[in-house]
Amino acid sequence: MSQRQNLQGNHACALGAIRAGCRFFAGYPITPSSEVAESMAAELPKVGGTFIQMEDEIASMGAVIGASMGGVKAMTATSGPGFSLKQENLGYACGAEIPCVIVNVMRGGPSTGMPTRPAQGDIMQARWGTHGDHAIIVLAPASVSEAYSETIRAVNLSESLRVPVIVLLDEVIGHLVETVDLEAIPGDADTVRAFATGPREGFEPYAVTEDMVPPMPRPGDGYRAHTTGLTHAPSGFPTQDPALAEAALTRTTDKLVLHRDKIESWRVRDCDDADLLIVAIGISARAAQQAVKELRAKGVKAGLFRPVTLWPFPEEALRDVVAKSGARAVLVPEMNQGQLVLEVERLLTDRCDVHALNRIDGEAITPDEIATRVQEILA
């Protein structure tokens, strides 16, 4: 049965999370992500879930961590200033390998910035916002249907890999309204984290397993657990033993490398013979897609590479696309002073010229701006 409806990107995030089995949301209203919380407040009680409006973003992240440790799929949503406040507890979730999902709808910054205007200035913060080396996944939808499907995927990846997952939208995608058939989008609530089974004696909450994802003890099942933000041994207890400390941190980051095929996702358009490749996310990728269409109509061979999984970045896929197309230049349009372009330069600096197109005035980059810059580069 079709469930076609006009749906906003923020609402789609909420519905996707619920479909994936999320049953707890703690948050604090903040423009331009408030509609995620509004939808969760209305929809969670219908499926037996719990919505709590906390006193601030720090407490919201703490509540989500607590709910997840209790065995519930949990999520929060915020924007720039709130995302900054969540970083300490987000680091705890990374270190303790606590599944959770954080929706960040980007707005202009820094500080209070431009609350109602779009930006893409949290790209690097999403990856490195909390201190220290840590494992994290960031997904970047570019449509309302992807806001729905990628939030489903975020919950599933978080649960199956015991890692926080960020759904990173810009304000335009968050407030964009498109017609979506929810029934036609695959997704379910079958993905459940691995809980401890077998003998309770000798159980290690951070045991080294073949898939690098240690089973979690479920409260009430009788397994001893110790959870801490301190660097810990497989027992869960703090350690400063160099070998154990290195092994603990290496496992959490290597875990994402091992499961890269499951995590990484990207989209390409007209890349096979592209002279110039555009790399973009969110609304900038939507503008780039239109620019590619218009450029192709004029005989200009442009293509688009859009990372859906922003972190870990699909680096081998991008290198392969550039190599196969023979592109001699890459353009990275983004609504910041240059963040995504740094990653592209790192990957392609020895293969082709990398150019940036930036905008930080609260307006989205237009297809005409991208098309003009492409023609200037190829001239």
The model's confidence at residue 122, banded by pLDDT at 50, 70 and 90, is very high
C-alpha dihedral, 267 to 186 to 138 to 190, nearest 10°: -150
Rounded CA-CA distance 51/132 in Å is 31
Asked if 4-184 and 268-378 have one fold, the answer is yes
Identify the DSSP state of 274. Answer: -
* Mean pLDDT value across residues 126-148: 97
For the segment 276-302, what is each residue's pLDDT rounded down to a tens digit? 999 999 999 999 999 999 999 999 999
Model confidence at 2: pLDDT above 80: no
Rounded CA-CA distance 22/189 in Å is 8
For the segment 25-84, what is each residue's pLDDT rounded down to a tens digit? 999 999 999 999 999 999 999 999 999 999 999 999 999 999 999 999 999 999 999 999
pLDDT value, residue 176: 98
CATH 3.40.50.920 fits domain 268-378: yes
Alpha helices in 80-238 (DSSP H): 80-85, 87-96, 123-128, 144-161, 171-175
Q: Give buried/exposed letters for 219-254 (b at 16+ CB in 10 A, else e).
A: eeeebebebeeebbbbbbeebeeeeebeebbebbee
For the segment 100-121, what is each residue's pLDDT rounded down to a tens digit? 999 999 999 999 999 999 999 9
Mean residue pLDDT across the chain = 96
pLDDT value, residue 1: 47
Model confidence at 3: pLDDT above 90: no
Q: Which CATH architecture has domain 4-184?
A: 3-Layer(aba) Sandwich (3.40)
The arrangement of strands across the sheet holding 302-307 comes to: 266-269, 302-307, 276-279, 329-334, 353-358
208: three-class secondary structure by DSSP? coil
Quote the pTM value.
0.97
Model confidence at 149: pLDDT above 70: yes
For the segment 178-234, what is each residue's pLDDT rounded down to a tens digit? 999 998 998 777 888 999 999 999 999 999 999 999 999 999 999 998 999 999 999
Rounded CA-CA distance 80/334 in Å is 16
Q: Which of 306, 287, 281 is nearest to 366 (CA)?
A: 287
pLDDT value, residue 190: 81
pLDDT value, residue 192: 86
The domains of the chain are located at 4-184, 268-378
For the segment 336-364, what is each residue's pLDDT rounded down to a tens digit? 999 999 999 999 988 999 999 999 999 99
